Amino acid sequence: MSARFSPPELAGTDFEHPLLEVSLGPHHPSTHGVFRMDAALDGETVVKLKPVFGYLHRNHEKIAEKCSYLGSMPFTDRLDYMCSLTNNWGYALAVEKLTGLAVPERAEYIRVILGELTRLINHSAVVGFLLQDMGAMGTPLMYAFREREKILDLFESLTGARMMCNYMRFGGCRCDLPPGWIGQARGVAAKFPLFLDEFEALLTGNEILKARTEGVGVLTPELAVNAGVTGPMLRASGVNYDIRKVDAYGVYGRMDFRVPLGERGDVFDRYMIRILEMRESLKILDQALRDIPDGPILNLNAKLRNLRPKPGEAYGRIEGPKGELGFYLISDGGPNPYRYRVRPPSLINLTVLEDMCLGQTIADAVVILGSVDIVLGEVDR
């Protein structure tokens, strides 16, 4: 049951001024999953907003305590179901830290290629959905999904599945690239900038888009850093923090790319940062596809079954498309982890939703939610 909001102090006024309570309920036309916002409105302005989630809780962390380490890997696909490969990578990183396994170079390059492809599909879908929420009747969404399909076809020919890839293993990758895959990937990466140019021609200069997103949902850098916000939301507020540069995990240390930073931290900045990040991802893709060496794709000491890491703990994190995705594992020497914890970027980014929405109208609250880029699978696990 939702909590009742207490009305503001009336302090001797002559007439009542009650707040209109609106529940943008779990069944939402423009939601990103089953998510609810309890808002108190003064006319059209949002006075209080409480996000309510948990409708998609699936006991992911508890299941991992009963499954073996390998058995948890398919479940990580289903966390942020738009970006399954980066979830796999985060988990594989954590277990590799726990067990001390090294990853061969070819596998690292494959991981980078797939990670950047995942970033492309996530950002194009997010921009499409943001415009859909703004009422653009699905046209940018359809264009974005047309490009996404090409990348999903690449995933299918490599990993066997379009979305639930289950591809990374502890110490490398599950199977090697089929012949011709690199050529196909190069073809996709060559056509993507044209799509981005068309997309920007449709959207970036559009006066209506600018009017709806400029100055809306401003997030100050201080608040972002204090709240633990990460990912494109943080960089749109101007804070320079990209885990690919900070940790330089995988072979990102060898890649030449820039990190775009926003100025004002409003919805337009977040949209623009995602477009710029897509362009940088294409640069990384070109370099990785050019430089990928031959060799083994799995560490020879890697064990599939009966992996029993020594007792200890590890935290593996990656720069996922939505933010810092982290996996914290405590092992007690058995085949199952003692504690398995996911740091969901969408959930942590959601905690500042109220601060961003205060003083805006209710129509803006929907647009702001779209720019936070949540996936309920990750928020609720």
Partner 1 sequence: MNGAGIIKGLVETARNFAGSYHDRERLTTVQYPEETLPPVENARTLPFLVYDGGDAMAGLRCTACMICEKECPPQCIYIIKDQARKPDYMGKMQLQPKVFDIDMSVCMSCGICVEVCPFDAIKMDQVFELSTDDRFAGLLFDNEKLARPNEYFRQLHKTEASEVDARREEEKRKAAAKAAAKPPLPGGVK
Partner 2 sequence: MSGADQIFVWIGHEAAGWAPAPAQPLVSAILAIAGIMAVFGACFALTTVAERKILGRMQNRFGPNRVGPYGLFQPLADGVKMLTKEDIVPFSADKTLHFLAPLVLTVPVWLAFAVLPFGRNMSALDLDCGVLFFFAIGSASELAVFMAGWSSQNKYSLVGAMRAIAQMISYEVPLVLSTVPVLMLAGSLSLNGIVAAQGSHTIGGLARWNVFTPWGLAGLLLFLIAATAESNRSPFDLPEGESEIIAGYLTEYSGFKYALFFLGEYLGLFAVTGLAVTLFLGGWHAPFQWLEWAPSWLWFGAKFSVLIFLFIWARATLPRLRLDQLLNFSWRFLAPLSLINLAVAAAWHWTGAWESAAAAPVRWLLCAALIALPAHWLGRALRGRLPPPRKYRYAE
Instruction: Please give the Cα distance from 161 to 114 (Å, whole number).
Output: 13
For 303-337, letters b (16+ CB in 10 Å) and e give: eeeebebeeeebebbbbbbbbbbbbbbebeeeebb
Q: Which of 165, 177, 255, 272 binds partner 2 (CB under 8 A)?
A: 272
* DSSP summary character for residue 253: G
Q: Per-residue string for binding with partner 2, 231-260, x by CB under 8 A?
A: ---------x-x--x------------xxx
- CB nearer to partner 2: pick between 107 and 131: 131
Least distance from partner 2 to the Cβ atom of residue 3, Å: 19
Helix axes 105-133, 84-99, angle to 10 degrees: 140
Judged by beta carbon distances under 5 to 8 A according to partner kind, the member of partner 2, partner 1, none in contact with residue 198 is partner 1
Instruction: Please give the Cα distance from 348 to 219 (Å, whole number).
Output: 14
Least distance from partner 1 to the Cβ atom of residue 160, Å: 4
Least distance from partner 2 to the Cβ atom of residue 360, Å: 10
381: enclosing H helix or E strand: none
Q: Does 273 bind partner 2 (CB under 8 A)?
A: yes
- CB nearer to partner 1: pick between 10 and 304: 304
Q: Does 157 bind partner 2 (CB under 8 A)?
A: no
Contacting partner 2 within 186-215 (CB under 8 A):
202, 206, 208-209, 211-212
Instruction: Please give the Cα distance from 152 to 114 (Å, whole number).
Output: 11
> Is the separation of the CB atoms in 193 and 286 below 8 Å?
no
Q: Does 63 bind partner 2 (CB under 8 A)?
A: no
What are residue 210's phi and psi, to 5 degrees? -65, -40
Least distance from partner 2 to the Cβ atom of residue 150, Å: 13
Instruction: Please give the Cα distance from 245 to 242 (Å, whole number).
Output: 5
By CB under 8 A, the count of residues binding partner 1 is: 38
Q: Does 142 bind partner 2 (CB under 8 A)?
A: yes
Least distance from partner 1 to the Cβ atom of residue 139, Å: 6
CA distances from 303 to 171, 213, 260, 299 (A): 9, 50, 40, 9
Least distance from partner 1 to the Cβ atom of residue 298, Å: 11
Burial, 256: exposed, middle or buried (Cβ in 10 Å; 0-12, 13-18, 19+)? exposed
Instruction: Please give the Cα distance from 171 to 101 (Å, whole number).
Output: 6
Q: Which of 91, 143, 192, 327 binds partner 1 (CB under 8 A)?
A: 143
List interacting residues with partner 1 (CB under 8 A). Answer: 67-68, 70-75, 77, 139, 143, 146, 149, 153, 156-161, 164, 166, 174-175, 178, 198, 201-210, 304-305
Task: Give residues in contact with partner 2 (CB under 8 A).
Answer: 20, 22, 24, 28-30, 44, 131, 133-139, 142-143, 146, 202, 206, 208-209, 211-212, 240, 242, 245, 258-264, 268-269, 272-273, 276, 361-366
